[in-house]
Chains A and B, each alone.
Chain A
Amino acid sequence: MTCKCSGGQSQADLSIDLGKASEVLNSYNSENSNLITLLQEIQLAYGYLPEAVLKLIADVTGVKEAKILGVATFYSQFRLKPVGKHLIMLCQGTACHVNGSGKIEQAIKETLGVSEGDMTSDGLFTYINVACLGCCSLAPVMMINDQTYAKLTAEKVGVILKDLRVKEAI
Chain B
Amino acid sequence: MRFVVGSGSCGIAAGADKVLAALHHQIEEKNLDASVEITGCIGTCYLEPIVDVYVKENMKRFVNVDSTKIEELITNINADTMLDESHDLVSEQLYKQDRIVLRNCGLINPEAIDEYIASGGYKAVETCLKEKTPMQVIEEIKLARLRGRGGAGFPTWFKWNAALKSPGDTKFMVCNADEGDPGAFMDRSVLEGDPHSLIEGMMIAGYAIGAKKGIVYVRAEYPLAIVRLEKAIKQAREKKLLGKDIFGIKGCDYDLSIKAGAGAFVCGEETALIASLEGERGMPRLKPPFPAQKGYLDYPTNINNVETLANVPWILEKGGQAFADLGTDKSNGTKVFALTGKVKNGGLVEVPMGMTLREVIFDIGGGIVDDKAFKAVQLGGPSGGCIPEALLDTPVEYEAINKTGAIVGSGGMVVMDDSTCMVSMAKFFLDFTCRESCGKCTYCRIGTRRMLEILTRITEGEGREGDIKLLEELSIKIKEGSMCGLGQTAPNPVQTTLKYFRHEYEEHIAGKCSAGACEKLLTYDISKEICVGCTVCMKVCPTSAISGLLKKPHIIDQSKCIKCGHCIDKCKFKAITKS
Contact = CB atoms under 8 A, between A and B. Distances in A.
> A and B: real partners?
yes
B46 A94 contact: no
Given A98-B341, A98-B416, A138-B13, A131 B182 contact: yes
A138 B341 contact: no
Interface in A31-65: 33-40
Nearest to A34: B279
Given A93-B183, A95-B340, A148-B9, A137 B262 contact: no
Contact of B276 (A33, A36, A99, A148): A36
Contact of A70 (B181, B260, B281, B346): B281
Given A71-B279, A76-B262, A132 B181 contact: yes
A149 B13 contact: yes
Interface in B180-210: 180-185, 188
Nearest to A149: B13
Contact of A94 (B222, B279, B414): B414
A136 interface: yes
B192 to A, nearest CB: 9
Contacts of A74: 264, 281-282, 438
Chain A CB count within 10 A is highest, among B181, B184, B262, for B262
Contacts of B480: none
Contacts of A146: 223
Which bucket holds chain A's interface residue count?
35 or more
A37 B282 contact: no
Contacts of A77: 220, 261-263
A36 B262 contact: yes
A137 B381 contact: no
B183 A138 contact: no
Interface in B262-312: 262-265, 276-282
Given A40-B262, A70-B281, A95-B340, A137 B46 contact: yes
B259 interface: yes
B221 A95 contact: no
A34 B9 contact: no
Nearest to B192: A134
B279 A36 contact: yes
Given A78-B262, A98-B414, A138 B10 contact: yes
B14 interface: yes
B463 interface: no
Interface string A132-144: 1111111101000
B461 interface: no
Nearest to A96: B182
Nearest to B189: A134
Interface in A70-123: 70-71, 74-78, 89, 92-95, 97-99
Interface in B377-424: 378, 381, 412, 414, 416, 420
Contact of B9 (A39, A95, A97, A134): A134
B428 interface: yes
A124 interface: no
Given A71-B281, A76-B264, A139-B341, 15 more contacts: A34-B278, A34-B279, A36-B279, A70-B281, A71-B279, A94-B428, A95-B340, A98-B414, A131-B180, A131-B436, A132-B221, A135-B10, A135-B185, A136-B414, A137-B347
16 contacts: A70-B281, A76-B264, A95-B340, A95-B414, A98-B340, A131-B436, A132-B180, A134-B179, A135-B185, A136-B412, A137-B340, A138-B10, A141-B13, A148-B9, A150-B10, A154-B569
